[in-house]
Amino acid sequence: MSLMDLKQRPLFRLTTARQAGWLLLLACALPAQAEPAFARLYKQQYGYTPSCNACHKDGGGTPNNAYGQQFKDAGENLAAFAKIAALDADGDGARNAEEALAKSNPGDAKSTPSSKGEWLDTASLIPREVQALFPGVREYLPRDAVLTDADLARAQALGAVLAKADENTIYIPLTDKKPVGTALIFPAEYQGKLFFLLLATDRQLKVTRVQPLNTAHVPAAAKSGVYASFQGLAVDQLPAGGGVGVDAAITTAVKKAGTLLYVRLKNA
C-alpha cells in the first residue's frame, strides 16, 4: 500500500460532530510510555470506546494526562481500572469510575458527569498543533501504526531500532480525499527525561517540519538548532543520531519517527 492508497480508507471530518466508535479506536495508538491497548481495555471495562484524550493531554502521541498516568502506574491492564476507580485524576470532584460510567472524561477537569463536553467528538482527536501545520484542511485520516516483525526488520535495515512499544498514531491530512502529507507526535529522551516532538511531511514523505512540542522536562530541546536540518529529507534518508547531547537525542528520535512513517506507509 502506498500513501496515496489511503484515500480509500475512512477519514475524520473536523466539521462532523461524531463518527462511529471504531474510528475513535483507530486514532488511539499510544506512545512508548503508555499501553497501546488502552482504548480496547477501556471499552471492555466501560462499554464504549474513549477518545485519546481520556489518556493523553492532546490526542494520541502527546504526553499522558493524570488519568493516563494513573492507569500506567496501576499496571496498564484491565485490573488497573478497578485500582484507580475511586481516585479523582483530574481533581473535578468526581471519581474516575463515576466519570467513565457517565461518559465524561476522567482525565479532564472541564468534563464532568453533569457537563460532559465534546471530548468524544472526532474533531477533538486531531491535536491543535497538527491542524496548525495544515491550514484549511478539514479532513484527517488517523492511522494506527501497529508495528509487525517485518516492520521492525525493515526499520533495522534502514538504520533505526524500533520496538513494538513505538506504536503511535499517524495523522494524515486529506484534501479532496487525497493525502497531502503526514504528521506524527513522538517522544524523545535525554538524560532519562522525556520530551515530545512533532514531525510533518509532504505527500512524498519528505520532511516539511520538525518542531518541539513539549519540552518542559528538557528545556534545551526547545532551543536546539538541529530541527531545520531535517527539512526536505526523505524519511528513509534521515541521519542516525550520534553522540550524547540534546541534538543527538533529537536526531535519534526523528530518525525513529521517520522510519516508522516509512515502514508503515511506503508500500506497506
pLDDT over 70 at 191, yes or no? yes
Cα–Cα distance, 52 to 50 (Å, whole number) = 6
| Domain positions in the chain | 18-120, 128-265
pTM for the complete prediction?
0.69
Q: What are the backbone dihedrals phi and psi of residue 79, each rounded to the nearest 5 degrees, phi first?
A: -65, -20
Cα 261 to Cα 30, 98, 156, 177, 183, distances in angstroms = 15, 38, 14, 20, 9
Mean pLDDT of the chain: 83
Residue 3 has pLDDT above 70, yes or no: no
Q: What is the per-residue pLDDT across 195-250, written as a single tens digit (0 to 9) for each?
A: 999 999 999 999 999 999 889 899 999 999 999 999 999 999 999 977 889 999 99
Rounded to whole angstroms, the Cα distance separating 178 from 246 reads 36
The predicted pLDDT at position 151 comes to 92
Quick: pLDDT tens for 20-74: 333 333 334 333 333 346 777 888 899 887 877 788 776 655 678 999 999 999 9
Helix (H), strand (E) at residue 54: none
| pLDDT per residue as tens digits for the range 121-134 | 756 667 788 999 99
pLDDT at 113 exceeding the cut of 50 = yes
CA 196 to chain centre: 10
